[in-house]
């Protein structure tokens, strides 16, 4: 079925004779929706090129789908079809399972069944690996198979490969980035067009960037799944999604977007994993102020970008599409090519699932609690009159809060019904200090309402 219109795989001159003699890597796929259909199309379109790089062909032999008629319309009559996922996971003529259905519970069962049957696994399912990755990777080691998941983190951006291979000489200090396209689209609209959160979300849904139920995106959960996997690869720790601190953008106000711009910042939903020597790892997702001159501040729309600080490499940045059918397929097929190259390779000589061999994974590396996170902060303090900026400044000084900058929000930044606002940028302090400050300051007689606090991330080299 993968007949190249110019030349067949056997005729491709880039393949040595030994490679052309190898049988194709046989793929079973569960799910033929956005990711699965894109993977099929790219495999079919670029079959000779992919085989030339893999050293053998890659052939889809069986697909599981809810609608067999729809599946046949995508893959044609040369691929076997079933509506039983376990038939694919345990199929005797399948070498590698591509799990493209999503979800966690049933997907976990299918993936573990495939592993027990001695099959490699490729998936773009970040929720599955964030919640069950430790169990899945342990089973894969036990059965000598690979689990590949480049598409689970930043779709077309090869950030997992960069951490596990390209930056392998480095002690990684931090990983941070914009890793959810839906929220980045919303924030870009709020900043660029001055619309509110609800309107920006509606635009994202109308364009297909957000689901009808966008909670996983806008509450930060999707980004937390991804930063959890990046942290494990960066620091040699188990997957610890349950310990991540997660804050979405649903409470973010347009007023703060405008005030951040006045101060020379833009607000982005960031995933951050930072190692603090002798203490542990900060593992968090939150809306944060980024300097307007910073590269991440210029990542707009649905695009993603990840930055990594290594002790030898310095800061490197990776940019690309954060969603899309063929964009995800690009990563899935790259994983299939890696699996195709494993033939005859001992499991101990392969790139480890989390970048570190199992005996070197640090089970004791702790995720720091929210109160211990140490960053600069932005405070927006509503006051009864502009003159009360002096009272706010005096109170902060008395509380020994390290203020780097303080000013009033200008008229351009204020919404129609907003009163005067004092804008404060602190030097680096713990989250515990900021939480206490915001709570106590709200009770000050000069203050007219709740104090808004957001982190500031400069991400300096």
Catalytic residues: 226
Is 171 strand, coil or helix?
Answer: coil
CA distances from 61 to 22, 71, 93 (A): 16, 13, 8
Residues 114, 106: contact at Cβ < 8 Å?
no
Residue found under tokens 């089973």: 139
Give me 460's structure tokens: 């300096």
- The CA distance from 417 to 114, in Å, is 59
- The CA distance from 233 to 238, in Å, is 9
**3-state SS string for 91-108:** CCCCCEEEECCCCCHHHH
- The CA distance from 50 to 58, in Å, is 8
- Within 247-385, strands assigned E span 265-276, 280-291, 303-310, 314-321, 374-382
- The CA distance from 133 to 302, in Å, is 27
- The distance from CA 441 to its chain's CA centroid, rounded to whole angstroms, is 35
């Amino acid at each position: 079925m993968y007949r190249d219109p110019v030349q067949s795989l056997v005729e491709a001159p880039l393949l040595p004779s030994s490679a052309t003699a190898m049988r194709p890597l046989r793929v079973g796929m569960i799910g033929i929706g956005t990711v699965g259909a894109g993977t099929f199309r790219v495999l079919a379109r670029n079959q000779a090129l992919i085989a030339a790089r893999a050293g053998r062909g890659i052939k889809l032999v069986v697909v599981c789908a809810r609608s067999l008629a729809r599946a046949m319309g995508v893959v044609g009559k040369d691929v076997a079809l079933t509506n039983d996922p376990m038939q694919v996971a345990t199929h005797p003529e399948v070498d590698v399972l591509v799990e493209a259905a999503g979800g966690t519970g049933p997907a976990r069962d299918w993936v573990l069944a495939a592993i027990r049957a001695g099959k490699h696994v490729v998936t773009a399912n970040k929720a599955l690996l964030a919640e069950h990755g430790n169990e899945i990777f342990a089973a894969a080691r036990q059965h000598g198979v690979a689990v590949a998941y480049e598409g689970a983190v930043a779709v077309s951006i090869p950030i997992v490969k960069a951490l596990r291979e390209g930056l392998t000489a480095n002690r990684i200090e931090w990983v941070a980035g914009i890793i959810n396209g839906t929220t980045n689209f919303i924030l870009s609209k709020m900043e660029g067009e001055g619309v509110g959160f609800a309107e920006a979300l509606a635009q994202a849904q109308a364009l297909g960037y957000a689901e009808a139920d966008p909670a996983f995106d806008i509450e930060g959960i999707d980004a937390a799944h991804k930063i959890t996997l990046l942290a494990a690869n960066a620091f040699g720790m188990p997957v610890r999604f349950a310990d991540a601190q997660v804050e979405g953008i649903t409470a973010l106000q347009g007023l703060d977007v405008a005030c951040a711009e006045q101060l020379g910042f833009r607000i982005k939903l960031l995933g951050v994993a930072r190692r603090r020597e002798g203490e542990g790892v900060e593992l968090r997702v939150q809306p944060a102020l980024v300097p307007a001159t910073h590269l991440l501040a210029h990542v707009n729309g649905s695009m993603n970008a990840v930055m990594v600080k290594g002790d030898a490499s310095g800061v490197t940045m990776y940019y690309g599409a954060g969603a899309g059918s063929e964009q995800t397929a690009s990563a899935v097929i790259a994983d299939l090519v890696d699996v195709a190259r494993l033939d005859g390779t001992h499991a101990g000589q392969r790139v480890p699932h989390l970048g570190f061999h199992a005996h070197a994974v640090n089970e004791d590396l702790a995720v720091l609690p929210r109160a211990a996170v140490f960053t600069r902060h932005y405070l927006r303090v509503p006051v009864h009159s502009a003159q009360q900026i002096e009272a706010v400044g005096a109170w902060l000084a008395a509380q020994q809060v390290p203020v780097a900058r303080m000013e009033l929000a200008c008229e351009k930044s204020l919404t129609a019904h907003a009163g005067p606002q004092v804008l404060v940028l602190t030097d680096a302090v713990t989250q515990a200090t900021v939480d206490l400050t915001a709570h106590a300051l709200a009770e000050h007689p000069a203050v007219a309402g709740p104090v808004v606090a957001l982190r500031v991330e400069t991400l300096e080299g």
